[in-house]
């Protein structure tokens, strides 16, 4: 039976979207990933582009409010917040708090921002490989 993993960040626009897409693409045999935000906005198009560069299409994903998952049991909830308010989610059997930089906080030219998103993507995917690939 697949473990259910919920990735949560503030806007559900970047970090948690990358994590959801990557875990579902690479470890779908063992995990079913979801993502949500405490204050959802819209999926960042540059994040979609950066994930596409590694062969993962997240263009069909949407930003979701964490309340959409109320009373849905999750095996793991990963709070990806960097400072700020970390969510309370009582339906998770295990909570992991792992901070990653927020792509929305990047500044510079479009190319500089995309390069920053690539670094965050690589940090998140490497952490997922180490954390969930070993289970």
Buried (b) or exposed (e) across 70-82, using 16+ Cβ within 10 A?
eeeebebbbbbbe
Q: DSSP secondary-structure letter at 65? A: B
Beta strands in the chain (DSSP E): 3-9, 31-37, 74-79, 92-97
Cβ contacts of 37 within 8 Å, gap of 6 or more: 8, 9, 10, 11, 12, 13, 16, 63, 64, 65, 66
**What residues are labeled active site?**
9, 81, 86
For residue 90, give the 3-state DSSP assignment: coil
């Amino acid at each position: 039976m697949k473990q259910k993993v919920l990735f949560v960040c503030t806007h559900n626009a970047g970090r948690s979207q990358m994590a959801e897409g990557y875990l579902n693409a690479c470890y779908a045999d063992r995990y079913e990933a979801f993502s949500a935000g405490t204050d959802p906005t819209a999926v960042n198009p540059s994040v979609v582009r950066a994930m596409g560069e590694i062969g993962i299409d997240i263009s069909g994903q949407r930003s979701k409010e964490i309340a959409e998952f109320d009373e849905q049991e999750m095996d793991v909830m990963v709070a990806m917040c960097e400072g700020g308010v970390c969510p309370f989610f009582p339906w998770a059997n295990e909570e992991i708090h792992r901070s990653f930089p927020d792509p929305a906080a990047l500044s510079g030219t479009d190319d500089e921002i995309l390069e920053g998103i690539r670094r965050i993507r690589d940090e998140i995917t490497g952490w997922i490989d180490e954390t969930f690939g070993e289970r």
